[in-house]
Amino acid sequence: MNKPQPFRGVLLENEPLAKYTSWRVGGPAKWMYIPEDKGDLVDFIAGLPAGEQLFWIGLGSNLLIRDGGISGTVINTRNRLKDMRLIDSGRVYVEAGVPCAHVARFCSDLELTGAEFLAGIPGTMGGALKMNAGAFGGETWAIVDQVEMVNARGVVTRRGRQAFEVSYRAVKGADDEWFLSAELKLSKGDSEASMQQIKALLEKRNATQPTNKPTCGSVFKNPPGDYAARLIEACGLKGYRIGGAVVSEKHANFIVNTGNATAIDIEMLIDRIQAQVEAQFGVKLQTEVCRVGEQL
């Protein structure tokens, strides 16, 4: 790929991706672009060759990059696309690179309620929009009013909530486009009560999840009327290991990299869990984590 001009960000070639993911695994990106800001990113995308494959990464949670890496261009929004501001009463503008936990606290400081659950999501708003991320009974798209998107030609559009088909951990209507920002619609409330709710949610998360370990967050979606963690634990799989990957003893829906795991270790463990749960309970667990890239 010829470097498109002009751009103000950083373009890296054959950049190892493991250091950008919360699981600490993954091969290299053929190209990685770290934009200066939203405008620079749009210009960069507009200058790419037709057909160039794009993949976006924020905090690298909910993501398994295979050991062969990604052959296209990775857009890295970590510490970029980080503008967040109050638009008017009850409406907040958030760019895709802002960590969800920052959004929760920002809204609370403004005495706006409804975004507290975002404190429990270990990713950015871009990823939360893509998968309708949720925690503690709240879901991202419940508070979204409209979004700003960019396509592979660098054309930016705005769309309302009604343009998307949103369900549990899934959003349809964003094919070949990527989220740049969102406008959230929230309710006026009590800042102190909101902060206390965030504190309680984080305490619960820390008590029940291996938050200090290299994980991706929850690996599997909860099946209707049940919990993936309950099924996995009932199969006796807590502590089950393949290579450097192990099912967390603290929460069975988390897989921990004990220090030397590869992506194939984790993927084989995912497949093993699915097979065991289906054999014992007749339930085919669906992955919440996004698996991308090429095998070695």
The residues carrying an active-site annotation are 169, 218, 288
Tokens standing for 22?
Answer: 């919360």
Sheet holding 156-160, edge to edge: 84-88, 91-95, 177-185, 144-151, 156-160
Q: Rounded to whole angstroms, how far apart are CA atoms 280 and 231?
A: 9
Give the number of other Cβ atoms within 10 Å of residue 123's Cβ: 24
Residue 215 amino acid letter: T
Contact 137, 197 (CB under 8 A): no
Beta-strand relationship, 170-172 and 138-139: unpaired
Q: Rounded to whole angstroms, how far apart are CA atoms 100 and 114?
A: 13
Maximal CA-CA distance, the chain = 57
* Chain centre distance of CA 136: 16
Q: Rounded to whole angstroms, how far apart are CA atoms 267 and 9?
A: 33
The secondary structure of residue 210, as a DSSP letter, is -
